Amino acid sequence: MPTYPGQIALPLRLRPQARFDDFVPGPNALAVAALRRAVELHNEPYLLLFGPPGTGKSHLLHAACQAAIARGDTAVYIPLSEPELSPPVLADLEQIRLIALDDIDRICGDVAWEQGVFNLYNRLREKARSLLISADRPAAELPLRLADLRSRLTWGPAFRLQPLSDPDCETLLRRAALARGLELGEASISYIMRRSVRDTRSLLAIIDALDEASLREKRRPTIPMIRELLDRSNGELE
C-alpha cells in the first residue's frame, strides 16, 4: 500500500496480470502504441482513453503504471469509482512521474472532485509529469460542472477503445490462461465464447475464476467446471 507525503494511505495495488504484453490490442493498436510511447518517451503530458465498459481501459492504465515502474519511474493508479476515496487523495501527486486516473466520469458533477482534478492537472503540467485518464465518453461530452476542467481534458490526444472481435477474444482467453499456467483447450475456449459476454472484463473474470477453481480443486479446467462457474455467475446476475 504506497503512501506519499500529504497523501492518505490507499489500497492501490496494481493487477499483476495487467501488462501491455497481456493485452490483445485488436482494433485498438494505435491507442496501445500511443500509451506505450507516453510511458517510454514521456512525450505526452496528458492522454485520454475512452469507451464503453469492458474494452480494457483499466487494464491499460494498470499496464502503463507497471511499465513506468519497471523503467525506474514512479507511478500511481487511482480508481475514481472507489467510493472510499475523496479529493484529498490527489494532494502532492505532482511528485510522482505518472498518474493514472481511472473512470473520471464517476466524479462528474462533484465540484470538490472536479476542482481537485483541475488543480492536479495544472500542477502536473508545471512539473512536466504525465497524466493518463479514462472515461466512458469523449472529454467534450462529460457532464462536468467545471468548464475549465472540460477544456483541459480536450487538450491532449484521445483514443476511443473498441470492443474486440471474436478471434481477438479467443486470443485473449489463450493468453490469459497461459499467463496463469492454465491448460485451456480449444473446446473449452469455444464453450466460453458460446456462453459468455464478449468483453475484456468478463472474459478475464472467467479466467481468474477458473484459475482459482483449478488451484482449489487441484485439477485442470474442464468444460463441466466452466459450466458450473458460468451458471453460478449468471445466477448471481439474475
pLDDT (tens digit per residue) in 218-229: 888 999 999 998
Which homologous superfamily does the CATH classification assign to the domain defined by 20-160? P-loop containing nucleotide triphosphate hydrolases (3.40.50.300)
Q: What is the tens place of the pLDDT at every residue in 126-161?
A: 999 999 999 999 999 999 999 999 999 999 999 999
pLDDT at 3: 39
**Which residues make up the CATH 1.10.8 domain(s) of the chain?**
166-237
Which three three-digit cell numbers place residue 235? Answer: 445466477
Weakly modelled stretches of the chain, pLDDT under 50 = 1-11, 237-238
Compute CA 211 distance to the chain's CA centroid, rounded to the nearest angstrom.
20
**Which residues make up the CATH 3.40.50.300 domain(s) of the chain?**
20-160
pLDDT at 234: 67
pLDDT at 201: 85
Q: Was domain 166-237 assigned CATH 1.10.8? A: yes
pLDDT at 236: 53
Which phi and psi (to 5°) does residue 17 adopt? -90, -5
